[in-house]
Structure 1
């Protein structure tokens, strides 16, 4: 694939399907280009000599000279032929507006496959099909059939919904919000969101990337692209489809807790994307990231002339990742000297309702000068003594002096409009709702932390990959999609500690296995791929004395037969009894997501894992830093650290187990689901006591 620079800065654009027919898409695109595009627009229409007063050509091959971009709006049955002709004519960039491809299924999907093949053959940058088009204000290009062009700005915007783009442009133009580039992704047959993220990450004219996505087909590629770009350029996305209705039914604990939304949430967080759930937050976050510096710390000062809104703002801070700043003694002393006795000098500063611009300005100045303040919310309600226009000029001046990020609440209507316009023109966002002001500052602070994250690649452990392959291949040959404790050697092959033991198929062999372990007592478990929850049927016996092993074997098999007569019984596992004093049952597992791949889970284990759902996730491969962070993210993390006088467990061993399992499921994509539950964590290490996995045969 070639560079995208000529896609957004073409010198000549051909509109294949240009026409003067009233109400047609071809006419709308041609007129939009002729209205503002600073390059040359070339209509292509075999049945017209001119289109909109411009000479037209019969085919794109007949156009003299180089065409940088072809916008294709012809019937779907001839799109592939037109795109091939454009490619053979030396065109590198194509936007296919035409619908009737994979979104229609069947024949359309096959047609899209042909289109993709042509694009790959000629190394085309292809947007669409089923796209509204693209905009680049840098060259005045509006190659869409939307009713509005974008105002110039430094936000680049992509969307899977063309209708959403038209609505956004109408709304943004009304508020003087500008854009750098706008892309309607369409069906993403070739270029995807990851390609545009990379392009805009390298574009000096793009300060913020904003988007609306419905699906991400290549989750791994998206994470890799976004992780690099978010070091310097913030990405704010709305991802629709958050419900679990479409999640794949799962048989493992991990699969039951995971799901498509969990994978998206985890993947976007790892990529450093600021995900929002509302269009309002999408623009609030993009706006403040585009206009304000990043805070040096997450402590916020509040300055207000109304006590109630100040309390509302304080509550909003408590709901965010920010904290309320504690002023230095110097600041408090200065506020005491300059504020009336009725004022509150502690955070939030209440300059009270009779404050004029001078008092407000003094309080803001002192708050922003405090070294303990990383950002500030300034709130004002209309009063007879406060001039909003003067207030706006003062805030603009103070923010420029201190270079501290600010959000402003102008809690009024018509009287605040000019002040809001002045503040917004200086890059200082304004709101009516204090909660929005705080959320926006919180986005700044969270992006500051994202931009400072250092990506550390995952470790690669020395493992017995060949033995693991033998175990999985043998299961596939037997037609056995689900494996249990009979496959514990799979974990051992990847260096995950397991108890001594063996799977046996007779009472006598059970006695021999118990004697080989050499302990006075053992654990015995029924082995059946058809009985995943062994404890529920009494299929697990703990602390079986050697003299009872023979009878215990027969009892376990009898229980299994009574519970499910047609179940496949592979035997009984005889296992070393692992001491559980000072132990905590945890779980580590994986569910393979169709878009993001292996989704690794860690959490509190045992029989209540699905009830408590105390778990955290990462998209594999998992680095040491991420594995260590996962241990701290569960609600019951204090149990691992030694709560109530207990000894702390070996967290290093837990983190290493997570990484080794991550390597296992990355190495073998046929593993669809996997649970190690319980993974017994003790002060001496971490031991896998049980295993369940599903493979794609």
Structure 2
């Protein structure tokens, strides 16, 4: 059975869980009425006039018929099974109605009614009851408080909008029903078509992730545009978006850019993060394109469906008027783009076809008397320049300009590989016909050149983000080996047992040391004499700081004394700190001092930190550090966990990163090592969930070393339950599935989840496969260059561990620090079901060693750990080895009735 994407198994053609909302065979309107202008009447009328081919049942206990259609007193009395219920009754009645729907076997419901959690505690309790009843019957819900669902491709309109959207290839999801109707009106005027039009409401059940998964699998949807007010299930959204964004653009406009509000934070990090900045980091991490206007939502959906993404930020502007070219340039540069340098070869070719007065630079001004031929020839030459990543053609209607003929001659350039072409035909009726020709040819046209330049900036930054997300990171040390997780857990446990939530500076540094983050030597001195003795042993100059189990900001209480050069100075510092702390906050907050060497700077101070965002859980921060960290606000945010690539991209968004690379004759810091340090810090954050806030400030970064000079850690309140601890929005590396196994020949093999860093090893693995092994796995022959293409391997190596877990079997080779991969097994969850598929491939050099049985057995264990109900696979009937492994583990094997050459394996868990 051939596959379209050999990196993943293709599921058998089955109805998707959300099909019932878009392709129902029967719909009941509960609360249907004939009252003019009512929601119940409008929805019923829309459904009755929809050509979707399903049966419509009005439900109203007080009417025998509505709009000429027989009505029924309740859902149970409908003469045929109902797949979808649309509920428009008062909120208080909805829980019982959902119960009736469950009893009647209804698969899904759209709750139009308002009056739920937005009204307060009573409404929230109604929602709880609704969800409880729905889940008891596995009934899916959209809403409450929504406009409904349209499926324009099959004509279904289960909304109370005045009309249905035009059919097309854009899916639009909105949390605001009012905005959805406004966009509907706009789309009808602009002739924008939709594959789906969904008002998602309060997202009691079906959320962003569910719909992105569904629409991502819909072949008729080319792009997904979203109006968002709240993120809801952050992990579900990010997981779905990261998967779908590789193949379909997801474009979001998010309302509400207010910050979370001031945090009573003991760490600097908490004062530097805000909700909108975190949201930007989250969108960046999952490949979502965020825009700031409704118009840009649809501009980008159109452009990304018609034109290739630019490889970089360099734009070539071709114009017949200088002013519009300057406006486009300003918009381009302001948005981060660049004017492409015009090569000497291109200038020489343009000299041959343009008047001597042309601009000889970019923007390429072909002058006001340019005819269609001159435009076309200039564009042909400019398009071939390798220093350009995209083209913008501007036309202003002048006396000798033929806007329509020029547009016609640009048609051949509508599809330039890897180089988008945009147009701005400025004017009204004079250029309208030309605009139509451009748009029909697939060249997006904009009324104003600055709009086109802004769109190009969105395009290249979007492409750059996707490229960065899936750039292969450096190989790290094996997870779990370089971290002393048990030691870190013990430090935190001891602090909590003592009744504290704030770690002392020495405890904080010991925690960092458990993750191989270098810290300055720090000794505790409970008396002045101990401080003197410690200073003598360490060596001068010395820093003395307050040691306290309650104070974190030491400088606020006069708790730091620097550059102490002898014992008397140390003694005086001890007394000064004790007196200052006693006067400012009380003697009970003074437990002595810490003594540490005075480190000569010779580098830069940076801050690394993490705090909790209420939507996304732990968030990482990197930026300029020191006492003025809040003043400079030079920082970048990211979601953990990090790879080395993501760590570098995070640093690149700060100003201090340029300094770290070496300025004014200074040597560069070891950037690669700093990437690894950030990766280790991110692992600390995700593996120690009791940490609420942590920062290293400053971390000294110099060409010779990194050194944490100070650190503070704040834990969650003592009364927090473990199950209530915030979880990372992106599931971290599942270290619990790392184990050692001994093969039949006695060789030790590590079984572990795959990592993005494994791409080179996976390439080598494919080089060991025979044509027979490839055919049995993928149901078709695949050449090596196809199997190891980067765009394919990223789908194998970059796992979202919430959606899939691929295991590799890795053995060590003499003299090789990384070893080689001898087998890969994959468990892929099916969105919307408690079910997963599996696949397995073993190197020909390592077959018959028992690794296949061991890895499939591990996948079965993982499936049970993940609380799945079913594990399935399809395999060729001639794949006897795989079938034997399945039988050994209890799978049931049956030939597929319609494809006898394929065997279906299933294990009920």
Instruction: After TM superposition, list the pairs within 5 Å mapping 1:595-610 onto structure 2.
Output: 595-610=615-630
Contact 2:146–2:200 under 8 Å retained in 1: yes
3-state SS of paired residue (2:519): coil
Instruction: After TM superposition, list the pairs within 5 Å mapping 1:346-495 onto structure 2.
Output: 346-400=361-415, 404-452=419-467, 453-454=469-470, 460-462=479-481, 463-488=483-508, 489-495=510-516
1:695 aligns with 2:715: yes
Contact 2:581–2:587 under 8 Å retained in 1: no
Q: State the Cα distance separating 1:22 from its structure 2 match.
A: 1.1
Contact 2:251–2:289 under 8 Å retained in 1: yes
Match of 2:337 in 1: 322
Match of 2:561 in 1: 541
Partner Cα distance (1:66, 1:616) in 2: 54
Q: State the Cα distance separating 1:602 from its structure 2 match.
A: 1.0
3-state SS of paired residue (1:71): strand
Match of 2:526 in 1: 505
Partner Cα distance (2:553, 2:708) in 1: 16
Match of 1:171 in 2: 186
If the length of structure 2 is used for normalisation, what is the TM-score? Answer: 0.73
1:586 aligns with 2:602: no
Contact 1:582–1:646 under 8 Å retained in 2: no
If the length of structure 1 is used for normalisation, what is the TM-score? Answer: 0.94
- Structure 1 pair 550/385, CA: closer, same or farther in 2 (3 Å)? closer
Partner Cα distance (1:301, 1:391) in 2: 18
Partner Cα distance (1:112, 1:670) in 2: 31
Partner Cα distance (1:113, 1:687) in 2: 50
Point out the more displaced range, 362-371 or 19-28.
362-371
1:36 aligns with 2:56: no
5+ residue gaps, structure 1: none
- CA offsets per residue over residues 590-627 of structure 1, 9 Å max, x none? 11101111111111111111111111111111222212
Instruction: After TM superposition, list the pairs within 5 Å mapping 1:130-149 onto structure 2.
Output: 130-149=145-164
Match of 2:29 in 1: 15
Equivalent of residue 327 in structure 2, options 312, 324, 340: 312
Q: State the Cα distance separating 1:300 from its structure 2 match.
A: 2.1
Partner Cα distance (1:403, 1:629) in 2: 23
Match of 1:283 in 2: 298
Match of 1:75 in 2: 90
Equivalent of residue 586 in structure 2, options 557, 562, 565: 565
- CA offsets per residue over residues 458-506 of structure 1, 9 Å max, x none? 9734333333333333333444333341422222223222222332322
Q: State the Cα distance separating 1:29 from its structure 2 match.
A: 0.8
Q: State the Cα distance separating 1:400 from its structure 2 match.
A: 4.9
Q: State the Cα distance separating 1:402 from its structure 2 match.
A: 7.5
Partner Cα distance (1:676, 1:395) in 2: 57
Point out the more displaced range, 499-508 or 431-440.
499-508
Contact 2:606–2:698 under 8 Å retained in 1: yes
1:198 aligns with 2:213: yes
3-state SS of paired residue (1:412): coil
Contact 1:37–1:142 under 8 Å retained in 2: no
Which aligned runs of 4 or more in structure 1 are off by greater than 6 angstroms? Answer: 455-459
Contact 1:2–1:125 under 8 Å retained in 2: no
- Structure 1 pair 249/160, CA: closer, same or farther in 2 (3 Å)? farther
Partner Cα distance (1:400, 1:581) in 2: 55
Match of 1:239 in 2: 254
3-state SS of paired residue (1:180): strand
Point out the more displaced range, 124-133 or 46-55.
46-55
Partner Cα distance (1:388, 1:621) in 2: 53
Q: State the Cα distance separating 1:628 from its structure 2 match.
A: 2.5
- CA offsets per residue over residues 131-183 of structure 1, 9 Å max, x none? 11111112111111112311111111111111000000001110101111111
Q: State the Cα distance separating 1:220 from its structure 2 match.
A: 3.0
Instruction: After TM superposition, list the pairs within 5 Å mapping 1:508-523 onto structure 2.
Output: 508-515=529-536, 517-523=537-543
Calculate the aligned-residue CA RMSD, in Å.
Answer: 2.4
- CA offsets per residue over residues 324-373 of structure 1, 9 Å max, x none? 23344444333222222233353222222222222222222332344443
Equivalent of residue 595 in structure 2, options 560, 568, 574: 574
3-state SS of paired residue (1:129): coil
Partner Cα distance (1:23, 1:526) in 2: 72
Contact 1:2–1:124 under 8 Å retained in 2: no
3-state SS of paired residue (1:109): helix
Q: State the Cα distance separating 1:391 from its structure 2 match.
A: 2.8
Q: State the Cα distance separating 1:106 from its structure 2 match.
A: 0.9
- CA offsets per residue over residues 626-682 of structure 1, 9 Å max, x none? 122333332122322232222332334432332222222222333221111111223
Q: State the Cα distance separating 1:537 from its structure 2 match.
A: 4.2
Partner Cα distance (2:704, 2:359) in 1: 54
Match of 1:528 in 2: 548
Partner Cα distance (1:455, 1:361) in 2: 37
Q: State the Cα distance separating 1:11 from its structure 2 match.
A: 2.0
Partner Cα distance (2:66, 2:134) in 1: 28
3-state SS of paired residue (2:664): helix
Equivalent of residue 183 in structure 1, options 198, 201, 216: 198
- Structure 1 pair 137/256, CA: closer, same or farther in 2 (3 Å)? same
Contact 1:392–1:419 under 8 Å retained in 2: yes
3-state SS of paired residue (1:343): coil
- CA offsets per residue over residues 514-573 of structure 1, 9 Å max, x none? 45x542443210023554332344321234346233443222211211222366223211
Equivalent of residue 689 in structure 2, options 655, 669, 672: 669
Contact 2:484–2:514 under 8 Å retained in 1: yes
Partner Cα distance (2:455, 2:595) in 1: 58
Contact 1:288–1:441 under 8 Å retained in 2: no
Q: State the Cα distance separating 1:208 from its structure 2 match.
A: 1.1
1:254 aligns with 2:240: no
Q: State the Cα distance separating 1:36 from its structure 2 match.
A: 2.3
Point out the more displaced range, 162-171 or 241-250.
241-250
Partner Cα distance (2:668, 2:413) in 1: 50
Equivalent of residue 671 in structure 2, options 641, 651, 655: 651
1:615 aligns with 2:635: yes
Equivalent of residue 347 in structure 2, options 329, 332, 348: 332
1:212 aligns with 2:233: no
Partner Cα distance (1:182, 1:436) in 2: 26
Partner Cα distance (1:30, 1:368) in 2: 54
Contact 2:520–2:707 under 8 Å retained in 1: yes
- CA offsets per residue over residues 370-392 of structure 1, 9 Å max, x none? 44433211111112222333233
Partner Cα distance (1:679, 1:561) in 2: 29
Match of 1:635 in 2: 655
Point out the more displaced range, 152-161 or 458-467.
458-467
Number of residue pairs matched?
Answer: 695
- CA offsets per residue over residues 291-317 of structure 1, 9 Å max, x none? 223334543222211121112222222
5+ residue gaps, structure 2: 1-14, 718-909
